[in-house]
Amino acid sequence: MTDVAETVPLEEIDLSDPGAFAERVPHEWFRTLRREDPVHFNPEPEGPGFWAVTRYWDIREVHRRWDIYSSEIGGTSLEDLEPDQIEARKSMIDLDPPRHDEIRGLIKSRFAPRAVREWEEQVRAIARKVIDLALPKGEFDFVLEVSSEIPMQVFAEILGIPQEERRYIIELGDHLLGNQDPEFARPPEKPEHRLLPFSSPVALEMFEFGRRLAEERRRNPRNDIITQLAFGGLTQREYDVNFVLLAAAGNETTRHTITHGLLALIENPDQLERLRRDPSLYPAAAEEMLRWATPVHHFRRTTTRETELAGTRIPAGAKVTTWFTSGNRDETVFENPDTFDVGRDPNRHMTFGPGGKHFCLGAHLARLEVRVVFEELLPRLRSVELAGPVKRLRSNFFNGIKQMPVRVEAA
Ligand code: HEM
């Protein structure tokens, strides 16, 4: 199935407007940009404007050249922050080498393929439990009952967060990141919250939570991520912001992938059937769901000097955004990019970033979760269909689904 119209006039495109992503992803915009203006200057109503990079290989170039395209100078989100705000919020994602590599180095082995494989049975047990609770309801919100539950339960398991506190941390995650969407936003920013991640008072609650875990590990060290961070020689602020990063990074991203994954199967019944008939396709199907969902539309860099990309000059100090949503449908890289194909091979999507220093630390874990959820879900289903409208998050950062009512018949 395809979901893309042709192209549109360039003047109609405004990637700064979250409203443009409210009903659907404007894929025709990206198709137009890739063809006509692959390094496009997008003015902003209240800001300096940004460059939008939309072709696969150009996006890779930006992420590879961290010396020209810095994560540290202006952070990685589109929002313009004051220097003191940037300084206070710097987790590894908002740092350049060498400090980036030092902090990532503390915990990276915990997320390597071999380490992640050891979590498979725990992830499977969580998926089973969550699915077994949801399916007997017959009709339910898939986001609430399944896709939001699994990533945070897995994360909580890996961090050793007690069961009874898990719902609390999921809610914190929602309030922390859904801040472009009126439904999730908390009261307006106060001056004293300027220095917090996402300018959000919720970050303080997250800090508190993380500190309690660290204290506990200092008393009783374990062989785990928190212990490594707690003994890693980080400042209190570095610990805090990296804890928030870990809590936030895998939450909504994995949730939205799982939700979009099921939606794609519902909308493409031939692919659902194909996957049921051939379970060896689950790993490829998980990759295709990741490509199809692209839960993070873009990240941002800031140029350290004047440079040229694909023939376009970009001044020093400019905001440059890389649109994975577009790279993942680049027709020079993917055959029939607008088709959802559970057997797609090769599938070198850039959902976790295109490689380079900041390639998603949790990529192997997220892959595992998506695959295992569908391996557990599909054999338990005789049928599945939408039972109401799919409610999307209003955001040009997350490709998010807030609510997806489904009706199921258990097998
Ligand atoms: C489908 C799920 C996920 C998606 C789509 C995703 C996407 C991304 C992307 C695109 C980046 C690159 C940011 C940049 O270049 O500036 C990134 C970085 C990161 N992700 Fe993920 N992520 C996912 C799941 C996870 C999980 C499960 C975790 C772990 C708990 C995680 C932890 C991180 C961290 C720590 C970074 C920063 C790495 C660095 O700066 O070196 N992510 N992620």
pLDDT in tens, 46-102: 899 999 999 999 999 999 999 999 999 999 999 999 999 998 899 999 999 999 999
| C-alpha distances out from residue 49 to 52, 72, 320, 368, Å | 10, 18, 9, 38
pLDDT category of residue 185 using cuts at 50, 70 and 90: low
Residue 1, domain member (yes or no):
no
Total tally of structural domains belonging to the chain: 1
Bridge partners, residue 309, by sequence: 312
How many whole angstroms separate alpha carbon 88 and alpha carbon 100?
Answer: 15
- Does any domain span residue 4? no
pLDDT-derived band at 171 (thresholds 50, 70, 90) equals: confident
Please report the pLDDT score of residue 178 as a whole number: 52
Q: What is the pLDDT of residue 4?
A: 52
pLDDT at 197: 80
Collapse the DSSP code of 144 into the 3-class scheme (helix H, G, I; strand E, B; otherwise coil) and give the result: helix
Query: What was the pLDDT predicted at 406?
Result: 98
Residue 249 domain-assigned?
yes
Does the residue 190 lie in any domain?
A: yes
What's the pLDDT score for residue 182?
A: 56
> What residues are in contact with ligand 1 under a 6 Å CB criterion?
63, 71, 76, 92-93, 104, 155, 245-246, 249-250, 253-254, 257, 290, 295-296, 299, 351-353, 358, 360-362, 365-366
Q: Which helix (H) or strand (E) holds 281?
A: none
5 lies in a domain? no
Mean pLDDT of the chain: 93
Q: Residue 215 domain-assigned?
A: yes
Mean pLDDT value of segment 256-260: 98
pLDDT at 3 over 60: no
Q: Which residue lies with its CA nearest to atom 37 of ligand 1? A: 93
Q: What is the pLDDT of residue 153?
A: 87
How far is the centre of ligand 1, averaged over its atoms, from the C-alpha of 273 (Å)? 31
Q: Is the pLDDT of residue 330 over 50?
A: yes
363 Cα–ligand 1 center, Å: 7
Protein residue with its CA nearest to atom 3 in ligand 1: 253
Please, are residues 193 and 200 in contact by the beta-carbon 8 Å criterion? yes
Locate tokens 């339910």: which residue?
A: 140
Read off the pTM.
Answer: 0.95
Q: Rounded mean pLDDT of 156-165?
A: 82
Host domain of residue 206: 10-410
Instruction: Look at residue 222 and tell me if it is in a domain.
Output: yes
Question: Could you report the per-residue pLDDT of 263-289, keeping only the tens digit for each?
Answer: 999 999 999 999 999 999 999 999 999
Among 51-60, 154-163, 189-198, 256-265, the range scoring the smallest mean pLDDT is: 189-198
Q: Which tokens sit at 336?
A: 């029939």
In this predicted structure, the answer to whether residue 399 has a pLDDT above a threshold of 80 is: yes
| Residue 1 predicted with pLDDT over 50 | no
Cα torsion 280, 139, 131, 158 to 10°: value is 110
Angle at 294 between CA 302 and CA 247, to 5 degrees: 75
> CATH code at 179?
1.10.630.10
The yes-or-no verdict on residue 16 having pLDDT over 70 is yes
**Which of the 8 DSSP states describes residue 145?**
I
How many helical (H) and strand (E) elements, i.e. helices and strands, does the chain have?
A: 17, 12
* Predicted pLDDT of residue 226: 94
Which residue among 60, 360, 372 has the greatest number of ligand 1 atoms within 8 angstroms of its CB, and so is best to mutate? 360
Q: What pLDDT shows up at residue 177? A: 66
Residue 174 has pLDDT above 90, yes or no: no
